[in-house]
C-alpha cells in the first residue's frame, strides 16, 4: 500500500479561496467537458477515469450473489443474530418479519390459563386420590367436590361425606371443613347427575322453575336473591324432600353449574336468601359474610316490650343435643363448642304493651342466634316452637301460631362493584298479624343507626 506524501499548502488566490489539491488555481468558469489536464492521481490515471462510487440507492438494487444453501456452512446458534434466536424478541429496528417464528409458535402467543377451555374432570368410577391445589386452598369440602365434578348433586355429596367415604389425609371429613393446599382427598366412585339443557325440563321441573321465578326479588348474571317462604327448608336433611338447594337444580347452565347457596336461614323463617349464580360470585359473597361486610336486618314480633327499647345482646351459644331435637343454649366462655354471638335490637312499635315489633341486626351468624337471644332476655319470638317458654302466656286471638320472624333486608357488596340492597315483604301470616294489631309496616326502622360491630 502506497503512502501519501504531505504536500505544501497552495497559496490562496486573490479572492482568498484556496485552490483544491491537484487542480490549477484557475479562474472559475463553465465546467469542462473532459478531464482537466494535469488532474491525475498517484496511479497516473485521470481522476475522471476511475470507477465512480454508485449512489446508495443504486447500490442497494444490485442483485445479491449468494452461494447455494447446500454450500453454505451452518452457523452455530450462538453466532446467529439475536433477533433470529428462538424465544427472543426480534430487534426493534430493521428486523425482518421473516426472522420471526409464526405466531402460534411464539411463547407470547400461548393461551393464557384462565382463557383456556378447561375440560370437565372425568367422573371417577373407582376410588381416586387427588391433591388440593393452591387455587383450592381454603375451599369447603362440598364446594371442592362441586368444583371438581360439576353436576354432582348436593344430596350425593352429603351422602358420601356422612358415610365417611370421602377422607382428607386419611381422616373422615365434614362437608363444611376447609381444605388446605397439598392435602390428599380420597374420592369414592361418584354418580354424576346428567344436566338437562334449558327447554328440556319436565313438567314438574318447569313448575319448580316458575316457583323460583315467583320468589325472585333480585337477579343478575351473578346474583339471585329469593324471598323464601316460611316452612320451606333451605337445605335437605332427615325427612326433608323439598328444599331450595334441590329446587336450584333446574337452573343449571350449559356447563352443568348450578346456583350456589351463600348463607342459610331457618326453615320457619321467611325472607331474603342470597344465592350465587357463578363460582366467582360465590367466592366474593362468602368472603363478604366471613369479613362481616354483609348487613342483615330481621323483623320479629315478640312477647312483651323489651327494656330498654334499644340494646345489645352479647352471649356465648353452644349446641345442646337431645333425642328428639337440638337447640342452642346460653353458654359460658370456654365451654366446649361455645361461640360468641352479638345481636343489636330496637323496638319499632308496640301493641298494648303485650306485643312488640322489634328490628334485629345480628353481627355474628350463629345457628338460631336471634331466637335464642330474644328468649334469653325474656321476650321470645311469637310462634317459636323451640324457644318460646313463657308460662301462662296466651296468643292473642286471630294470630297464627307460626314463627313471626322475617329476614327483612340484606345489604352486601356486589361481586363486580356496587352494592346489593334488597328488602322482602312481610309473609302472609305476619302481614295478617300486623293488620290485626294495627302496626304500620312502613314505619321508620330505628335499627338503621345500630353499630356494625
Q: How far apart are CA 162 and CA 160, in angstroms?
A: 6
- Which residues partner with 223 through β-bridges? 276
Considering the candidates 142, 222, 245, 266, report the single residue annotated as catalytic. Answer: 266
Read off the C-alpha cell for 169.
Answer: 389425609
- Count H helices and E strands in the chain, helices first: 8, 15
CA 191 to each of CA 149, 160, 174, 185: distance values in angstroms, whole numbers, following the listed order: 10, 11, 20, 17
From 442, 437, 447, 445, select the one nearest 354 (Cα to Cα).
Answer: 437
Reported as half-sphere exposure (CB side, CA atoms, 13 A), residue 114 has a value of 2
The span from the CA of 197 to the CA of 294, in Å, is 34
User: Is the Cβ–Cβ distance between 271 and 408 less than 8 Å?
Assistant: yes
Asked if 343 and 373 touch (Cβ cutoff 8 Å), the reply is yes
What stretch of H or E contains 135? Answer: none
Q: What is the DSSP letter of 140?
A: B
**Rounded CA gap, 169 and 185, in Å?**
6
Containing 406, the helix (H) or strand (E) segment is strand 405-413
Calpha distance 315→366 (Å, rounded) = 11
Q: Active site includes 335?
A: no
* Residues annotated as catalytic (active site), given as ranges: 266
Amino acid at each position: 500500500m502506497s503512502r501519501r506524501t504531505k504536500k505544501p499548502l497552495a497559496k490562496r488566490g486573490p479572492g482568498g479561496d484556496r485552490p483544491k489539491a491537484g487542480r490549477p488555481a484557475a479562474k472559475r468558469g463553465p465546467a469542462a467537458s473532459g478531464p482537466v489536464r494535469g488532474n491525475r492521481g498517484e496511479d497516473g490515471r485521470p481522476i475522471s477515469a476511475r470507477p465512480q462510487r454508485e449512489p446508495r440507492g443504486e447500490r442497494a438494487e444490485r442483485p445479491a450473489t449468494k452461494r447455494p444453501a447446500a454450500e453454505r456452512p451452518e452457523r452455530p446458534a450462538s453466532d446467529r443474530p439475536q433477533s433470529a434466536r428462538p424465544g427472543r424478541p426480534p430487534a426493534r429496528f430493521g428486523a425482518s418479519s421473516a426472522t420471526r417464528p409464526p405466531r402460534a409458535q411464539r411463547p407470547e402467543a400461548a393461551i393464557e390459563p384462565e382463557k383456556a377451555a378447561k375440560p370437565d374432570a372425568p367422573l371417577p368410577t373407582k376410588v381416586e386420590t387427588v391433591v388440593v391445589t393452591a387455587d383450592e386452598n381454603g375451599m369447603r369440602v362440598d364446594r371442592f367436590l362441586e368444583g371438581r365434578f360439576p353436576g354432582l348433586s348436593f344430596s350425593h355429596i352429603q351422602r358420601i361425606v356422612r358415610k365417611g367415604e370421602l377422607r382428607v389425609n386419611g381422616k373422615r371429613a365434614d362437608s363444611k371443613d376447609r381444605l388446605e393446599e397439598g392435602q390428599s382427598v380420597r374420592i369414592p366412585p361418584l354418580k354424576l347427575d346428567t344436566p338437562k339443557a334449558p327447554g328440556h325440563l319436565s313438567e314438574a321441573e318447569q313448575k319448580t322453575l316458575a316457583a323460583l321465578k315467583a320468589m325472585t326479588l333480585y337477579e343478575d348474571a351473578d346474583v339471585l336473591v329469593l324471598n323464601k317462604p316460611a316452612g320451606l327448608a333451605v337445605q335437605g336433611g332427615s325427612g326433608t324432600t323439598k328444599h331450595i338447594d334441590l329446587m336450584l337444580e333446574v337452573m343449571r347452565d350449559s356447563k352443568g353449574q348450578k346456583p350456589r347457596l351463600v348463607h342459610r336461614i331457618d326453615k320457619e323463617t321467611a325472607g331474603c336468601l342470597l344465592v350465587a349464580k357463578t363460582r366467582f360470585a360465590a367466592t366474593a359473597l362468602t368472603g363478604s359474610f366471613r369479613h362481616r361486610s354483609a348487613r342483615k336486618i330481621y323483623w320479629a314480633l315478640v312477647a312483651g316490650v323489651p327494656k330498654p327499647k334499644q340494646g345489645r345482646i352479647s352471649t356465648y351459644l353452644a349446641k345442646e343435643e337431645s333425642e328428639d331435637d337440638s337447640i342452642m343454649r346460653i353458654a359460658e366462655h370456654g365451654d366446649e363448642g361455645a361461640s360468641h354471638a352479638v345481636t343489636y335490637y330496637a323496638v319499632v312499635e308496640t301493641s298494648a304493651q303485650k306485643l312488640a315489633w322489634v328490628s334485629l341486626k345480628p353481627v355474628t351468624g350463629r345457628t338460631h342466634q336471634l331466637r335464642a337471644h330474644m328468649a334469653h332476655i325474656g321476650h321470645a319470638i311469637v310462634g317459636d316452637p323451640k324457644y318460646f317458654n313463657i308460662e301462662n302466656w296466651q296468643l292473642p286471638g286471630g294470630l297464627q301460631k307460626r314463627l313471626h320472624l322475617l329476614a327483612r333486608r340484606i345489604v352486601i357488596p356486589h361481586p363486580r362493584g356496587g352494592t346489593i340492597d334488597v328488602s322482602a315483604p312481610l309473609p302472609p301470616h305476619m302481614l295478617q298479624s300486623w293488620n290485626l294489631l294495627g302496626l304500620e309496616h312502613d314505619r321508620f326502622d330505628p335499627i338503621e343507626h345500630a353499630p356494625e360491630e
